Amino acid sequence: MSILGTRVLRTEDPRFLTTGGVYTADVADERLAGACHVHFVRSTVAHARLRSVDVSAALELPGVVAAFTGQDLASAGMRPVSPPMPNMNGEMTWPLLARDVVRFVGEAVAVVVTEHPHQGEDAAELVDVDYEMLPAVVDMDEAATDEVLLFPAAGTNVVVAFGDRDELDPGLFEGCDVVVSHTVANQRVAPAPMETRAAAAAWDGQGRLTAWIPNQGAVGTRDALADMLGIDGSAIRVITPDVGGAFGAKFGADPEHAVVCWVARQIGRPTRWTETRNENLLAMTHGRAQRQVLTIGGNRDGAVLAYRLEILQDSGAYPRFGAFLPFLTILMAPGPYAIPRAEAVARSVATNTTPVGAYRGAGRPEATAAVERAIDLFAAEIGMDPAEVRRRNLLPPFTEPHRTAFGAVYDTGDYVAALELALDQAGYAELRKEQADRRAAGDVVQLGIGLSSYVEITGPGAEEGGPNENATVEVHPDGSATILTGTSPHGQGHETVWATLASEELGIPLDKITVKWGDTDLIPVGGGTGGSRSLQLGGAAVQQASRELIDVARDRAANELEVSAADLVFDVERSAFSVAGDPDIAVSLAGLAESERLFVRAVFRSPGPTFPFGAHVAVVEVDTETGKVWLRRMVTVDDAGTVINPLLAEGQRHGGIAQGAAQALLEEVVYDADGNPLTATFADYAFVSATEMPSFELAGMATPTSYNPLGAKGIGEAGTIGSTPAVQNAIVDALAHLGVRHIDMPASPQRIWETLQSVRR
């Protein structure tokens, strides 16, 4: 009986629940014996010229081994980091430690290196930084005026533009009965993984570096380090210990990681670094951070005819992946709708804030939030039920690829069915009735029902020949097997699922299969984990390698048994080949591995990314006197094609829904007008917890893709994409009868209360 599609328990969990994980800070390796501790001295101001950075007093403190400034790095020939894409403004480079100018609070300006971790903080206090203040540019619109430039040599604060605003079609909304426009915030949030950033570094006598770094793909981390350190990738081995959450923000490597490695080489001793929570909230990349102008037009019969999305993306002080996010937002702008005319443009601007990077969904939640808000604004304007407006405008079901006006090629989809299933499971008609009753009774606490329909992209990649991933499967003489994967799990459960996929083909029990990843010497190629790519590419590669291994083994078994390969059958139960009709003449895979290593490395290539989709229904109660919101129910349909392990897929949905709902309800990174962060501790950054969440109601729907033999699309981010607009729309819906049309996220009690005050006035 197949174990694919069954709720195989996570094989990772016994270790995590008993001995616990081994995170970078826990790594005990003889190469790290006698390691010094690196502590970063960070800018306390958002924008200033550095007159001087004096580390002499710190060097006097007992326990201080060394200290370095940006000037020291520059003198040693270390180059600043270039923007990640060639189309970004090349003048906007990021020195590993600030040298002339600091551009955000939290930017590293120096390091102190100490014998013990606790000595670093005291030593850092003694580093004297002389700032000559410059005006801080915190707001994106202000940045776009180019009045104060972060990089004068760049001549502008615009990092990159997607599309030309001057070429927007003035006639886009011609013929529409109704046109609605609104400026909305997709606010900046913090990824806030449980494990903060960290690194440990050791150089050997031959000048080769071993770096332990929590990351989402060791190969990408190695390449980023090679670039920053100015050395060849072959001189670096990156090892990935357990990773305590990443959510997109641990891709590649940050300047701090390179500095920790560089310091180890300078002082001739290994180094370690683990940032504090405060540093993490200050200096790990943030996510989202878009301001969007939505315009939607259509007819009173509910037909949407035109949609325009104008995006201003805050890239933070130095361009990272965040500056690229609008590309993905534009790609997915029309979402699951058949909108006859649509256009989208974007600009990413530099501001004196923490750099923005990828955060769960990266660009797609922003697209969904925009179009779902637009649909609700349109529905409110024409006085039609938002479910009905969606029904009338969703693309009809398709099984052949569908190309959108923005160049995305959706593989398979049935958006109407997803919506109907979600509405049905939620009991939509009864909810509307309850809402009407409460409105009629003038209840203080009102009911809101919010919808979102979405389609997103997973497993993207611009590789020649299509997005791909590799896997190696080897069977050992003792009957065990090893899988090497180019993916890099950090909570997604690849150990369980990759072993399941191999077990299914090879007949080797799960507990005899070891999955390895995250060591560039062992697995020098691989795309890591992000964009919910892993199962559809990396899992498919494991299945392919296992199947090819059976082919290789069949020929060897034929030789061994001196029969024709065509006469052999593979008995999965016994993990052995036998002669058809004579089960006693047999040789096992393990037996075949005795004489010669039995392994296959396979690369799975997909014709393209896949497009998971779904529909979410959020039910909220809002206190119209205090603005307090209770999220009562979340009913979701998240169609990721064929599901290989429902337990894991549901776990991913739960985590994603909570994160997405949290953006609508609570989370926001806030700066004051001078660029001082106001949310740099967990006391100030409103982080969601289980107590604020209901138990989620997950409905099942699976429309397979033909892009991989598993039929699987990605599920890792879907929850985050569908839930945010559903919750936001529900809050607005609860107050719609009072005249409320929009409330920006996070819809905190204060913001709701203020909105109610203004509509009442």
**Contact residues for ligand MCN, defined by CB under 6 A:** 245-248, 360, 490-494, 497, 529-535, 539, 640-645, 648-649, 652, 655, 712-717
106 vs 655 by CB, closer to ligand MCN:
655
- Which of the 8 DSSP states describes residue 220? H
**81 phi, psi to nearest 5 deg:** -80, 130
The nearer residue to ligand MCN, 4 or 303, going by C-beta atoms, is 4
The smaller minimum CB distance to ligand MCN, of residues 507 and 719, is found at 719
- Beta carbons of 755 and 403 less than 8 angstroms apart: no
CB of 244 to ligand MCN, least distance (A): 8
Which strands make up the sheet holding 101-102, listed edge to edge?
101-102, 48-54, 128-133
Cα distances (angstroms) measured from residue 28 to each of 33, 200, 272:
8, 10, 11
Tally of CB atoms within 10 A around 626: 14
Taking CB atoms, the residue at the shortest distance from ligand MCN is 491
Longest CA pairwise span in the chain (Å): 91
Nearer to ligand MCN, 298 or 538 (CB): 538
Q: How far apart are CA 472 and CA 517, in angstroms?
A: 11
Of the pair 228, 515, the CB lying nearest ligand MCN is at 515
Q: Which is nearer to ligand MCN, 246 or 602 (CB)?
A: 246
Beta bridge partners of 568: 579
Sheet holding 304-316, edge to edge: 158-162, 341-350, 304-316, 287-298, 178-189
- Please state the closest distance from residue 608 (CB atom) to ligand MCN, in A: 15
Q: How far is the CB of 530 from ligand MCN (least distance, A)?
A: 5
In the complex, minimum distance from the CB of residue 715 to ligand MCN, in angstroms, rounded to a whole number: 4
Nearer to ligand MCN, 104 or 247 (CB): 247
How near is the Cβ of 277 to ligand MCN at its closest, in Å? 17
The nearest distance, CB 473 to ligand MCN, in angstroms, is 16
Give the nearer residue to ligand MCN in terms of CB position, either 288 or 713.
713
Name residues whose C-beta falls within 8 Å of residue 665's C-beta, 6 or more positions apart in sequence: 629, 631, 688, 692, 727, 746, 747, 748
Residue closer to ligand MCN (CB basis): 89 or 645: 645
Respond yes or no on whether the N-terminal peptide bond of residue 746 is cis (omega within 30° of 0): yes
Q: Is the dihedral of CA 254, 255, 261, 263 positive or negative?
A: negative
Which residue, 58 or 455, is less far from ligand MCN as judged by CB? 455
CB 536, CB 610: distance < 8 Å: yes
Instruction: Please count the helices (runs of H) and the strands (runs of E) in the chain.
Output: 19, 28
In angstroms, what is the minimal distance from the CB of 646 to ligand MCN?
A: 7
Minimum distance from residue 191 beta carbon to ligand MCN (Å): 8
Minimum Å distance from CB 278 to ligand MCN? 21
Q: Is 573 exposed, middle or buried (0-12, 13-18, 19+ CB in 10 A)?
A: exposed
* E strand intervals along 606-716: 613-623, 629-639, 697-699
Positive or negative CA dihedral for 295, 298, 304, 305? negative
Least gap, CB of 515 to ligand MCN (angstroms): 11
